[in-house]
Chain A
Amino acid sequence: MNYVGIDIGSTAAKVVVRGDKSIKFVIPTGWSCKMAASSIKDILLKDGVDVLGEDTKTVSTGYGREAVDYAGKTVTEITCHGKGAASIFGGEKAVTVIDVGGQDTKVINLENGIVSDFIMNDKCAAGTGKFIEIMANRLNVELSEMFELAKAGDPVPISSLCTVFAESEVISHIAEGRKREDIAAGIVSSVALKVSSLCSKQRLAEKVVLTGGLSENEYFAKLLSDRLKKHVEISTEGRYAGALGASVIAERL
């Protein structure tokens, strides 16, 4: 038996297979969730997992979850991230999961591995992966490069809470001839600030973990830890938390 978890986010689609096979991969979502879902089906078939077969159970999650027409069940990314994080980081009594996603950021409290409370950012891209992506484009660098630049920089203030306004602030910093390192540092620290202000609305557990696209990023985790005055744990598996959670749920279908 294979248990397939598919997490179609706004930027990346993540897949985890557990059971007879053990597979894990990520592809860009692209412009169509349906096409991403269909590419995933093909990739899995090549790896010997037939999602339409009797010995496969599939759960989809994420913003494009409805597009996975071969899934046996859809579950929200909040429940899946909770389950996945508990499995990656250990499901101690109380855990707070911070997930910085492509289009939204969530702060999820878990008790014994079960979601007990959560909040999500409102209609605003600031404090999400989208914000970082837009700013990296503006600085003409890759995401990973931007974090490298940021480490070496002294953050310029980026005061705005709005992506569109923040972008114009970045443009004025560029025009003023500020160092790219400093602007990059300003951008990353503005995201950390926005994420920590979302966290401040939630009672944080002793154990705080980071999932989603930034979960491998030590630099970001350190900024967040400083802001929250709590150690934020990271993991190379963190970006798969949603897909892993979905695969765990698939086991119970």
Chain B
Amino acid sequence: MQKLPDNFESYDDKRQKGFITMKNLKDKGQRVVGTFCSFVPQEIIYAAGAIPCGLCASSEEPIPDAESVLPANLCPLIKASYGFALTDKCPYFYFSDIIVGETTCDGKKKMFELLNEIKETYVLQLPNSRDYPDALESWRNEIIRFKEKLEDFYKITITEDDIKKAIKMKNRERDILREYLELGKLVPVPISGYEMGTLIDGLSFSFDIDERCETTAKRTAEVRELWEKEFKGKESKRPRIMVTGCPNMGVRDKIIKNLEELGADCVVIDTCNGIRTQLDKVREDTDVYTALAEKYLNVTCSVMSPNKPRFEEMGVLLDEFKVDAVVEIVLQACHTFNIETYNVKRYVTEEKGLPYMSLETDYSQSDKGQITTRLEAFIEMLM
């Protein structure tokens, strides 16, 4: 497995450290908006002078409490996120002034109703398809309503200029994150998917966007230099894997780290906590709401039906990152990604001619042995 940097901070370290930063910010009167999903236009939150704070939980710990209200046979991300709120164990939830949800999957949609009883939860009505005539218009209106909601909530006015500034700022960050994640294109790859995933997920606990950009850009430069010195021109027999499917922060150790320790390289993570959301920028040459609506309708999540852009995007990534095989992660009871595995397998094996495997799992460690056997056998098959 590729070496982690000397100053590597685990996801838990970052989460812990972020508590203090968050508390200090709050003491100074900082506005904080809690979010769950990459469909939520962060630019509107920044334009309101607030910082967005990701609340998707990745820990097994609050799940038993969540199950006192929610059914056991539900996605672990939803259960864990709700469980943290219910038990008041997540400082980020605690410090959020308001929560913003969205009508993505059924599980989240219904969970938000209950979350609203704990803290005000504003739900964006996301179209379930990009392809019907009014989809874009309706999503654009919804984004305007979201802006109005924050204006009303904070008793402020958000100008188009504020939004334009936020768009510029986020686009700059997207460029930098994309450059970082594209280190995975290098052959042989000088950075682990585990490190890339940890950095991206850790960003939600670092609230200064400029600082985030700087640290990421610095690491990109370091890794490029390392590649020139130690990797360039060398051969590697390690198969290059694309990880796709559900957000994987709760199973990063069990699957991504495990895969890399077993002898593969996760070169590209095609998920909402990977490169998927960094590919498209927000247009800066048109009306801000249309530009935001276009970008945030195009997240290639399986909640969209049909979901053709996911396959187009995947095809480009498979080629550009010179991927040898695809591993799809489905969180237990995520129906949309689970059903879509059929199409993904067909696309990957038949159209791209690559091996594919899907794994259904949750945040527990109880299936670690079985998962390891599957991953190991998959790698043996590739070697």
Determine chain A's interface SS by DSSP, over half rule: mixed
Tell whether, in the assembled complex, residue B377 and residue A76 are in contact, meaning their CB atoms are under 8 Å apart: yes
Contact (Cβ within 8 A) B367 A76:
no
Question: Could you say which residues of chain B place their CB within 8 Å of the CB of A63?
Answer: 369, 373
Which residues of B from 355 to 376 have beta carbons under 8 Å from A?
A: 355, 360, 366-367, 369-370, 373-374, 376
**B366 surroundings in chain A (CB, below 8 A):** 123
Residue A43 CB within 8 A of the other chain: no
Check: B381 CB closer than 8 A to any chain A CB: yes
Contacts of A78 in B (CB 8 A): 373, 377, 380-381
Q: Which residue on chain A has the smallest CB distance to residue B374? A: A120
Distance A63 CA – B370 CA, assembled complex (angstroms): 9
Contacts of B376 in A (CB 8 A): 76
| B370 and A120 form a contact (CB under 8 A) | yes
For window 76-99 of chain A, which residues contact chain B by CB distance below 8 Å?
A: 76-79
Q: Which of A21-29, A111-119, A141-149, A176-184 contacts B (4 or more CB under 8 A)?
A: A111-119
What CA separation (Å) do A76 and B378 show in the bound complex? Answer: 9
Distance to closest chain B CB from A102 (angstroms): 13
Q: Which single residue of chain A is at the shortest CB-CB distance from B376? A: A76
- Whether A75 contacts B355 in the complex (CB less than 8 A), given A104-B370, A123-B367, A123-B370, comes out as no
- 8 Å CB interface, A96-132 against B: 104, 114-118, 120, 122-123
Mark interface residues in A158-195 (1 if CB within 8 Å of B CB, else 0).
00000000000000000000000000000000000000
Tell whether A118 pairs with B377 under 8 Å between CB atoms, given A104-B370, A123-B370: yes
Q: Which of B177-217 contact A (CB under 8 A)?
A: none
Do A76 and B380 form a contact, CB below 8 Å, given A104-B370, A116-B355, A117-B355? yes
Interface contact A79-B380, CB-CB below 8 Å: yes
> Roughly how many angstroms separate A175 CA and B278 CA in the complex, as a whole number?
61
User: Taking the nearest CB of chain B, how far is it from the CB of A79, in angstroms?
Assistant: 4
Instruction: Determine the distance from Cα of A216 to Cα of B369 in the docked complex, in whole angstroms.
Output: 28
Sort chain A's interface into a size bin. 10 to 19
**Minimum Cβ distance to chain B for residue A166 (Å):** 19
Interface residues on chain B, number (Cβ under 8 Å): 13
The residues of B that contact A76 with a CB separation of less than 8 Å are 373, 376-377, 380
Chain B positions 39-74 with a Cβ under 8 Å from a chain A Cβ: none
Most B-side CB within 10 Å, residue of A77, A114, A122: A122
Asked if residues A115 and B370 are in contact (CB atoms below 8 Å), the reply is no
B373 to chain A: which residues have CB within 8 Å? 63, 76-78, 120
- Contact B377–A79 (Cβ < 8 Å): yes
Which chain A residues lie closer than 8 Å to B380 at the CB level? 75-76, 78-79, 115
Shortest CB-to-CB span from B7 to chain A, Å, is 33
CA distance A76 to B357 in the complex (A): 16
- Collect the chain A residues with CB atoms within 8 Å of residue B360's CB: 122
Closest chain B residue, CB of each to CB of A79: B380
* A114: chain B residues within 8 A (beta carbon): 381
A75 to B369, CA, bound (A): 14
* CA distance in complex: A122, B374 (Å): 11
Whether B381 and A79, one on each chain, are in contact in the complex, defined by CB atoms closer than 8 angstroms, is: yes
Does B367 lie within 8 Å of A115, measured CB to CB?
A: no
Q: What's the Cα separation between A120 and B349 when bound, in Å?
A: 18
> Which of B360, B376, B377 has its CB near the most chain A CB atoms (within 10 A)?
B377
A117 and B377 alpha carbons, distance in the complex (Å): 10
Chain B residues contacting A120 (CB-CB under 8 Å) are 370, 373-374
Cα A115 to Cα B373 with chains together (Å)? 14
Least Cβ–Cβ distance between B377 and chain A, in angstroms: 4
Interchain CA distance A79-B375 in the complex, whole Å: 12
Asked if residues B381 and A115 are in contact (CB atoms below 8 Å), the reply is yes
The chain B residue with its CB closest to the CB of A115 is B381
Interface string of A50-89 (1 = CB under 8 A from B): 0000000000000100000000000111110000000000
Which B residues have a C-beta under 8 Å from some C-beta of A?
Answer: 349, 355, 360, 366-367, 369-370, 373-374, 376-377, 380-381
Q: Identify 20 new A-B residue pairs, CB closer than 8 A, beyond the known A78-B373, A78-B377, A120-B370.
A: A63-B373, A75-B380, A76-B373, A76-B377, A76-B380, A77-B373, A77-B377, A78-B380, A78-B381, A79-B377, A79-B380, A79-B381, A115-B377, A116-B355, A116-B381, A117-B355, A117-B381, A118-B377, A118-B381, A120-B373
The contact sample of 22 A-B pairs, CB cut-off 8 A, is A63-B369, A75-B380, A76-B373, A76-B376, A76-B377, A76-B380, A77-B373, A78-B373, A78-B381, A79-B377, A79-B380, A115-B377, A115-B381, A116-B355, A117-B355, A118-B381, A120-B370, A120-B374, A122-B360, A123-B366, A123-B367, A123-B370
- For the complex of A and B, list the 10 residue pairs with the smallest distance between their C-beta atoms, beginning with the closest: A78-B377, A76-B377, A79-B380, A115-B381, A76-B376, A76-B373, A123-B367, A79-B377, A76-B380, A122-B360
